[in-house]
Structure 1
């Protein structure tokens, strides 16, 4: 079942934007009569028009329909993108991975309605994964959004196998910039980069637990040197890294200037108050994008990557395990942190893409009043069943005792 437009929600969004029926009709490219029919509930909205409505009203599908985020089907994703089955098929046929699939509008409709798609290649999990990847590109959503919608639309299909992404090779420009540095400059860049990545990881962990976010302009600026006796102020973390790398006079002189001239870092010099010493000169450094690219290429450091779609990160998996273990009792509705933004029906991690829809806040079964609690959805149960073994291998320290017998 595709998204059903709510006439009252449409009128509310139009009035919120201070638009008349005529203004909305002109912006969307329809007649005022069509808008009157939509708001009266006497005419449905076409696929392409639905997508244009979302763009004109600057809202998402949840605000115009009864469908909540985290419950989208394949048909919903297409309508949100504002394209027809014919257009979807045409766009897919132009993709490199579409050879031999004979993609048609009829096959797209069969996919959306949970029917068998004709053609022996469509039985392969690898082929289905390739189609899911292409649909994600066409609909401009992450792979995991299409995979979640796929399993809601086609619960009997095998697990999709996404094609592996090709590893990005270091650019010649980045490697040339690294080779142009002397050993001391390389040590400085490597130690600054390591501290930058440590700060980035700390911020990521803070987001996971719902801590207050700090602007990147603050935490990316790292103290390199304090111009005061080391026996009083000690060494900064970057200086400690430099000393471990064999640089025993880690100041902020010619090496820092050389890195700054090459556009790899930005140096900032100011003063900071320290008890007993007063205002002390300080040098802080911030890596540029080019500097990070050069360091990653030279050190073989991959970007911090999330688990492959559709798997969850360790902290989200812990939440799902906790809710699953609670069973019919559910988990207290005050579940802390940002986990619900990523996992719960009706939520979104970024205000644009839907949540996974694996947990839902509701009354316990048979109860009509009192506090709400968190429970698994059908999608959440299916996800655990499909991937329990993979998660156990991926996160062996996370205790899954109590759910193994239920979902294994």
Structure 2
């Protein structure tokens, strides 16, 4: 069942935006009488209108309903997208992956209500994984959000198996581009690439440790050079790499321009204040996707494997295992780091995308006062049961033997 609009919450959100009943009605394409009935609780909001309300009021569905992030069902996701079952079915039928599934509005409704979807192929986890990925594309949300909502909606089904993405081989275009570079240009591209990968590795370590994440646009822009004497400002890390490659005049001239013309890097020029000197010109570079692909192909570098879309990083998996291991005792409510933003009911890692809803902060069973503690949710338990063997293979250093009997 979809999360219902709370009349008082709608009135409050309208007040926050300084909108009258008539203004809200006009913006959402309904009559003022409909808005009044919504706020009185005597009329339900339709699926398409609910999506328009979220856009007009610039709020999250959590702000208008009694539901919390991390508890969404498949029907909730559709309503938030402002679509009817017929519209979703129509969009799904246009996708190549839907061939042979004969998707209809009735099948979408059956899927959302936890009923058996007619059609022999619909029974397989592989087919359900295809449908889950297509829904994520239609709603414009991550695969994992749909998978989590699917498991809450259909807890008795086998877990959907998302289609695996085919590994990419080094493309002829990438290798051809590399062959067209001269030795100096190759050295520049190689040194920039290695620095880019070092920064990416550092960001990954920070993410696993629960640190606040910087946007990629910030950390992928690497300082190449400062236009000031080296004895005053030293060498940048890329310049040091170039010097190790026997390039002792590592400036930001023709080689950098050549790489930019080929679409391998983007160059940014600004000024930086340096104590004792003042403002000095600075050149920063950022690798493009094509540039990264060319470097990987030429150097034989394989991208770092990441967990499948519906699975957790090592850092988050450790937290879930820790909470599961605590059982009915729970884990102290002061759980450190940003883990709860990604995992806890009512939270969000970015203020928009729902959390996984695998843990919840509440009073222990039977208690009516005292400290709150972290407990595993039903959704979290299903996730462990679905994937414990895969996690054991992915992260062998995380001990799951102590919880295995709880989920088998």
Per the normalisation by structure 2, the TM-score is 0.88
Secondary structure of 1:222's partner? strand
Secondary structure of 2:127's partner? helix
Q: Verify the 8 A CA contact 1:319 1:339 in the aligned structure 2.
A: yes
Instruction: For residues 287-321 of structure 1, give each alpha carbon's deviation from its aligned partner in whole angstroms, at most 9, with x where no partner exists.
Output: 24254454345445565564112111111111111
Alignment partner, residue 150 of structure 1: 150
Q: Verify the 8 A CA contact 1:208 1:338 in the aligned structure 2.
A: no
For these two proteins, the number of residue pairs brought into alignment is 403
Between 375-384 and 121-130, the greater mean CA deviation after superposition? 121-130
| 1:8-407 matched pairs, under 5 angstroms | 8-167=8-167, 174-211=174-211, 216-217=217-218, 220-222=221-223, 228=230, 237-239=237-239, 241-242=241-242, 246-247=245-246, 249=248, 251-252=250-251, 255-256=255-256, 258-259=258-259, 262=262, 264=265, 266=267, 285-289=284-288, 291-299=291-299, 301=301, 306-407=306-407
CA 69–281 in structure 1, closer or farther in 2 if over 3 Å, else same:
closer
Q: Verify the 8 A CA contact 1:228 1:280 in the aligned structure 2.
A: no
Q: Verify the 8 A CA contact 2:347 2:355 in the aligned structure 1.
A: yes
C-alpha displacement at 1:161, in angstroms? 1.5
| Alignment gaps of 5+ in structure 2 | none
Instruction: For residues 104-147 of structure 1, give each alpha carbon's deviation from its aligned partner in whole angstroms, at most 9, with x where no partner exists.
Output: 11111111111111111111111111111111111211111111
Instruction: For residues 310-362 of structure 1, give each alpha carbon's deviation from its aligned partner in whole angstroms, at most 9, with x where no partner exists.
Output: 11111111111111111112112121221111111111112221111000111
CA 351–169 in structure 1, closer or farther in 2 if over 3 Å, else same:
farther
Instruction: For residues 215-251 of structure 1, give each alpha carbon's deviation from its aligned partner in whole angstroms, at most 9, with x where no partner exists.
Output: 754673335688547xx9997543554466x536463
C-alpha displacement at 1:170, in angstroms? 6.0
Instruction: For residues 179-198 of structure 1, give each alpha carbon's deviation from its aligned partner in whole angstroms, at most 9, with x where no partner exists.
Output: 22112321221121111121
| Alignment gaps of 5+ in structure 1 | none
1-structure distance, mates of 2:65, 2:270: 54
CA 212–376 in structure 1, closer or farther in 2 if over 3 Å, else same:
closer
- Aligned-residue RMSD, C-alpha: 3.0
CA 12–280 in structure 1, closer or farther in 2 if over 3 Å, else same:
closer
Per the normalisation by structure 1, the TM-score is 0.88
Q: Verify the 8 A CA contact 1:193 1:287 in the aligned structure 2.
A: no
CA 108–407 in structure 1, closer or farther in 2 if over 3 Å, else same:
same
